[in-house]
């Protein structure tokens, strides 16, 4: 390597270069901001549920094509993948946004509220798509700064098990990717701030369906019946022992029975009762053991009272665990772009995300981007009918995705 080559490579990682790039990314984000907001509001007006995102996918495809980005539809059923090649060949970065909405009647009061009754972008996926398109616009403008390539993943069905991520992976969406990045809007963080966490960040989520069988009879003659309502109550209580007495206290976990259905009248003991719930864990080893214990505890408890039960487990998303190196890199990139006060450490949460599947396939990280602003009423949590955000977050998220991508490929260029 000549001294000239060394100086050229050093320039790629000098703070001044990063500072110049950060200013450029933010300047472009501000320039494109009106269009990004317009896109977000259009998406918000016309939400579509999991695997029904046909118009949404068409719009994302058109946005890619407008930027002369090679794009494909029908990836993972209704997903879209766009690919932008830069001036170098130092790697491939994957950036993901989810597309589906929730079955919620919107009560946010915004003028661009959902026009599709019973459907709402209550989890902010409209903002995720808008920010990814914003990043694509910035990166297209800075193509010469891109020392490799980037794929834009517009993923369907994040809200519905088994999730759209496995289907996109199966269709090759991550093929050749060296890293995958994703972000999620939240009103748990103030607008203009970002929260990162290395390692386990979001929980696994499995669905549990239990049917307790007894023997029906008259409510006045319980001794002639086997009461599945009473047995179900004992099962519900016994299952909590899996969490309180069989789990390592340092291994976070939640078991919730969310529905109980059985019986038709006050004086009839039914033949069966149906229970359903969810198990959340932060460890795959405990997850596997807990599901075994739940099945055994439910069956043994039912049998001890003369009944029986069936247990069906619907496997959900795995634990979302961020790669340490990629998380550290993204955290430092956020500090460069926005300053240290804007960067927070995220606590682990028991919510689940199918981005976890991408992280099982490819190193990467997932973070929270703040959307909260009490002055404009942006305080409700995601999945709420009153959820709204401070739209200035769209500029921050677009700029950060673009800046992070360029910085990551610069580092790979330097280390080649």
Among all residues, which ones are annotated catalytic? 317, 391
The CA distance from 261 to 272, in Å, is 9
Token representation of residue 234? 């004992």
Pairing state of beta strands 149-155 and 70-75? unpaired
Nearest to 149 by CA among 81, 202, 204, 103: 81
Of 349, 321, 352, whose CA–CA distance to 206 is shortest? 352
* CA–CA distance, 36 with 388 (Å, rounded to integer): 16
Residue among 313, 382, 404, 359 at smallest CA distance from 165: 359
Cα separation of 119 and 47, whole Å? 6
Q: Which residues, 6+ apart, have CB-to-CB distance to 343 below 8 Å?
A: 193, 194, 195, 196, 331, 334, 335
Q: How many residues does the chain have?
A: 416
Query: Quick check: 90 and 413 in contact, CB under 8 A?
Result: yes
Instruction: Give the residue from 149, 282, 301 showing the smallest Cα distance to 232.
Output: 301
Task: Output the six-digit token pair for 332.
Answer: 């430092």
- Closest alpha carbon to 337 in 409, 405, 263: 405
Q: Which residues contact 280 (CB under 8 A, 6 or more apart)?
A: 203, 204, 205, 253, 254, 255, 256, 350, 352
Greatest pairwise CA separation for the chain in angstroms: 95
Angle between helices 3-13 and 393-415 (to 10 degrees): 160
**Cis ω on the peptide bond leading into residue 72 (within 30° of 0)?**
no
The DSSP line for 319-381 is -EEE-HHHHHHHHHHHHHHH-GGGEEEPPPBS---THHHHHHHS-EEEEEEEEEBGGGTBTPP
DSSP 120-161: B-TTSHHHHHHHHHHHHHHHHHTGGG-SSEEEEEEE--SSST
């Amino acid at each position: 390597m000549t001294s000239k080559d060394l100086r050229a490579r050093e320039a790629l990682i000098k703070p001044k270069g990063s500072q110049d790039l950060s200013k450029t990314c933010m300047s472009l984000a501000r320039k494109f901001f009106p269009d990004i907001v317009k896109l977000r509001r259009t998406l918000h007006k016309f939400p579509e549920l999991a695997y029904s995102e046909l118009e949404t996918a068409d719009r994302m495809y058109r946005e890619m094509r407008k930027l002369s980005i090679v794009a494909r539809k029908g990836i993972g059923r209704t997903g879209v993948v766009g690919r932008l090649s830069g001036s170098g060949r130092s790697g491939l970065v994957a950036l993901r946004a989810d597309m589906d909405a929730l079955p919620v009647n919107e009560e946010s009061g915004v003028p661009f509220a959902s026009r599709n009754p019973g459907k709402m972008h209550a989890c902010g996926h409209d903002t995720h798509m808008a920010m990814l398109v914003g990043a694509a616009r910035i990166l297209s403008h800075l193509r010469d700064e891109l020392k490799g390539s980037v794929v834009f993943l517009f993923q369907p069905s994040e809200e519905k098990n088994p999730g759209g991520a496995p289907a996109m992976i199966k269709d090759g969406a991550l093929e050749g990717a060296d890293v995958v990045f994703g972000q999620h809007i939240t009103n748990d963080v103030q607008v203009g701030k970002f929260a990162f966490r290395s390692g386990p960040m979001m929980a696994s989520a499995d669905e549990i369906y239990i049917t307790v069988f007894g023997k029906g009879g008259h409510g006045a003659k319980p001794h002639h019946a086997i009461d599945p309502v009473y047995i179900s109550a004992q099962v519900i209580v016994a299952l909590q022992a899996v969490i309180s007495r069989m789990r390592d206290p340092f291994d976070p976990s939640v078991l919730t029975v969310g529905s109980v259905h059985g019986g038709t009248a006050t004086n009839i003991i039914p033949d069966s009762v149906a229970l359903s719930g969810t198990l959340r864990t932060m460890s795959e080893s405990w997850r596997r053991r807990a599901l075994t214990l739940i099945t055994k505890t439910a069956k043994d408890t039912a049998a001890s009272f003369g009944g029986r039960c069936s247990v069906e487990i619907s496997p959900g998303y795995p634990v979302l665990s961020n790669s340490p190196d990629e998380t550290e890199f993204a955290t430092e990139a956020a500090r460069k772009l926005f300053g240290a006060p804007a960067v927070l450490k995220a606590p682990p949460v028991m919510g689940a995300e199918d981005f976890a599947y991408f992280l099982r396939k490819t190193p990467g990280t997932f973070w929270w981007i703040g959307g909260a602003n009490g002055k404009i009423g942006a305080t409700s949590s995601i999945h709420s009918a009153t959820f709204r955000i401070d739209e200035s977050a769209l500029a921050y998220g677009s700029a950060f995705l673009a800046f992070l991508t360029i910085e990551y490929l610069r580092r790979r260029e330097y280390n080649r």
